[in-house]
Amino acid sequence: MGKVYFASDFHLGVPNYEESLLREKKVVRWLNQIESDCDTLFLMGDIFDFWYEYNTVIPKYYARLLGKLATMTDRGIKIYFFKGNHDMWTFEYLNKEVGLEVIDEELLITIDKTRFYLHHGDALWKGEISYKFIRKLFRSRWAIWLFHRLHPNFGIGLAKLLSVSSRKKNSVKDDIDIPLEQEYQYQFAMDHASNNEIDFYIFGHRHKPMDIPLNNNTRLINLGDWITKFTYAVLEDNNVSLHTYND
């Protein structure tokens, strides 16, 4: 059996076209390196800093990554794409054209006897009430219907603006090195693990690489990001480890 890879939060599209393109090329170099032994790849949300898809139109960016992913799925590599809070408006394109399996929320999956709870990592725990409301609204049929009525030049411009304002809010949170006990992902996983048999909880979203034991059998992994950290996780011989891509 080959390896299973996990990465999240590339946030392609920011801070500007040129710098995003450099990061996108780096992601593709990483994919070139791993694809020979990669069975399954989990892209765990916020791959794009914004993505909005109309029935006939997609944002005119990200050609290298999308092409690379399509080549990999054509070769039989299984690739999952979790919706993040920046790229939840994905409909059929990523599945039909690129061959990705799109996951709306959590995915509980057992791979070679190792049990995983996978989620982008936003809106998991009891807090964040106002954020959860907006999240639900954004994902609602009404919001999507309304957005589909906007001309793409306006709609995708608006999506870019919204993603910048959401990131500004989040980056404040990211800077604060809050204690582990106050991390929503930790609180959620501790609670969930008390009633469920899971080996690894893997999340993105926090941009904070973590590998933390929850009990004797269970660990919490946060995948970090590909803005400054270039971190990813690998499942090999029933163990998950965090790595940094250097090239």
Residue numbers at the binding site for Mn ion (CB under 5 A): 46, 84-85, 205
The sign of the dihedral angle between the CA atoms of 122, 128, 129, 130 is negative
Compare residues 84 and 99 and give the one whose CB is closer to Mn ion: 84
DSSP 181: G
Cα gap 75→88, rounded to integer Å: 26
Q: Residue of minimal CB distance from Mn ion? A: 205
Cβ proximity to Mn ion, 14 vs 77, nearer residue? 14
Residue pair 116/110 in contact by the 8 Å Cβ criterion: yes
Min dist CB 169 to Mn ion, Å, is 11
- Label residue 168 left, alpha or beta by phi (over 0 means left) and psi (-120 to 50 means alpha): alpha
Task: Indicate the helix (H) or strand (E) that contains 101.
Answer: strand 101-103
Q: Looking at beta carbons only, is 85 or 90 nearer to Mn ion?
A: 85
Which of residues 53 and 87 has its CB atom nearest to Mn ion in the complex?
87
Smallest gap from residue 126 Cβ to Mn ion (A):
18
- Give min distance, CB of 67 to Mn ion, in A: 24
Per-residue DSSP letter, 97: T
What are the Cα distances from residue 245, in Å, to 24, 58, 68, 189?
13, 29, 18, 27
Half-sphere exposure of 40 (CA within 13 A, CB side): 14
**Residue showing tokens 């710098």:** 19
Minimum distance between the CB of residue 8 and Mn ion, rounded to whole angstroms?
8
Closer residue to Mn ion (CB): 205 or 208: 205
Q: How far is the CB of 165 from Mn ion (least distance, A)?
A: 14
